[in-house]
Amino acid sequence: MASEAELRLRERLSKLRSLPLLGGARLSGELERLQRQLDRMTAEPTDEEIWRSVELARHADRPYTLDYVARLLDDWFELHGDRGRADDGAMVTGLGKLDGRTVVLVGQQKGRDIQERTKRQFGMPYPEGYRKAMRAMELADRHGFPVISLVDTPGAYPGVAAEQHGQGGMIAQSQALMARLRVPTVACVIGEGGSGGAIAIALADRVLMQENAIYSVISPEGCAAILWRDASQAKKAAAAFKPDAAHCLELGVIDGIVPEPEPAAHADVDEAARLLGESLRDALDELDSFSGDELRRRRRAKFRSLGIFA
């Protein structure tokens, strides 16, 4: 089994080397970093490396959505509200120009200090937050603007009002809308890609992950609590369900990995933003050649192919 998995991985990697997504000729100055990254990928990440990703993805200084917005988008105009009953601080939406091209951005936002974290519910949106994102994506579809989605959430908010206002239904609706869009869509997990709260805005033509982000169906603590009956076995659980970028790439769940500066994004936010911008731009360029109907058809076909069974 292990060698088969490695073969699959090597095949992916060789394909990856030729992909414009990770740079190709454009990234000539970064071949070294790329090589390091690829080396790390060819070696199965150790349990320690997986746990390091978990810690880095949740690092208190890790750049958040608005840190990237400030560095990547010109003429940023934030859109507020779901036109129903709230303006969810955990979900940021807006219009901006990426290299002169207007895009709609949606993304979770955690919050830097206690006050902002409260206001933004630690990046856990209510149903209203997903409806807010849907409104922004509908605007994008109406005007032909690409959608960039930055995923960074422990998960959707788990509360009484959130349930009453239809958390599950709204996450489904948001995905359904993304499956209908006729504009190019690129999602990137920039920190925690936590379960349903993440996938709600990640049904995109291209799905990327930053090198040290995690993407998972459950938190390591939650998984440990259920399967090991002991939340402190989180490290063991993470090693078992492998939320790191390399494994997500191997499983075909993401299309590419966005490099981070050493040792991780928070060490050099400007450089992290530059690298993210590069990847987003490449992905959008790649999608430019497809019609809206073609994008939609391919997007659905891609997600419908995910899963491994006999």
Partner 1 sequence: MAEPHIDVSIETKDVPPAPRRDPNTCPSCQSHYRDDELEANLWLCLHCGHHFPMTARARITSLADTGSFVEEAADLRSEDPLNFFDLRPYTERLAEAEMSTGLGEAIVIGQAAVENRSCELAVMDFTFMGGSMGSVVGEKFSRACDSAIERTVPLVTVTSSGGARMQEGILSLMQLPKTVCAVEDLHDAGCALIVVMAHPTTAGVLASFASLGDVSLAEPNALIAFTGPRVVQQTTREKLPDDFGLAEQNLRFGHLDAIVHRQELRPTVARLLRLFDGE
Task: Pick out residues in 49-78 that bind partner 1 (CB under 8 A).
Answer: 58, 60, 75, 77-78
Residues 213, 191 contacting (CB under 8 angstroms): yes
Q: 23 or 93: whose CB is closer to partner 1?
A: 93
Residues 189, 198 contacting (CB under 8 angstroms): yes
Footprint (CB under 8 A) of partner 1, residues 164-193: 164-169, 171-173, 175-176, 178-180, 192
> What is the DSSP secondary structure assignment for residue 244, as one 8-state letter?
B
Tokens of 8: 């699959």
Distance CA 22, CA 42 (A): 16
Residue 20 interacts with partner 1 (CB under 8 A): yes or no: no
Q: Using CB under 8 A, which of 107, 111, 123, 127 touches a second copy?
A: 127
Stretch binding a second copy (CB under 8 A), from 16-24, 30-38, 79-87, 248-256? 79-87
Chosen from partner 1, a second copy, none, partner binding at 64 (C-beta under 5 to 8 Å by type): none
Chosen from a second copy, partner 1, none, partner binding at 37 (C-beta under 5 to 8 Å by type): none
Q: Using CB under 8 A, which of 24, 144, 169, 292 touches a second copy?
A: 169
Residue holding tokens 């090693």?
239
Residues 140, 181 contacting (CB under 8 angstroms): yes
Tokens of 94: 């807006």
Q: Using CB under 8 A, which of 66, 237, 258, 276 touches partner 1?
A: 237
Distance CA 98, CA 101 (A): 5
Q: 203 or 258: whose CB is closer to partner 1?
A: 203
Q: 83 or 101: whose CB is closer to a second copy?
A: 83
Q: Using CB under 8 A, which of 124, 150, 264, 272 touches partner 1?
A: 124
Residues 147, 181 contacting (CB under 8 angstroms): yes
DSSP 169-232: HHHHHHHHHHHH--S-EEEEEEEEEEHHHHHTT---SEEEEETT-EEESS-HHHHIIIIIS-GG
Residue 83 interacts with a second copy (CB under 8 A): yes or no: yes
Footprint (CB under 8 A) of a second copy, residues 250-289: none
Residues 6 or more apart whose CB falls under 8 angstroms from that of 283 comprise 21, 186, 205, 206, 208, 255, 256
Residue 251 interacts with partner 1 (CB under 8 A): yes or no: yes
Residue 20 interacts with a second copy (CB under 8 A): yes or no: no
Distance CA 90, CA 125 (A): 5
Residue 11 interacts with partner 1 (CB under 8 A): yes or no: no
* CA nearest neighbour of 48 among 37, 60, 56: 56
Distance CA 204, CA 149 (A): 8
Site for partner 1 (CB under 8 A): how many residues? 96
Residue 13 interacts with partner 1 (CB under 8 A): yes or no: no
CB of 31 to partner 1, least distance (A): 29
Q: 130 or 303: whose CB is closer to a second copy?
A: 130
Q: 34 or 124: whose CB is closer to partner 1?
A: 124
Which parts of this chain interact with a second copy (CB under 8 A)? 83-85, 127, 131, 164-166, 169, 173
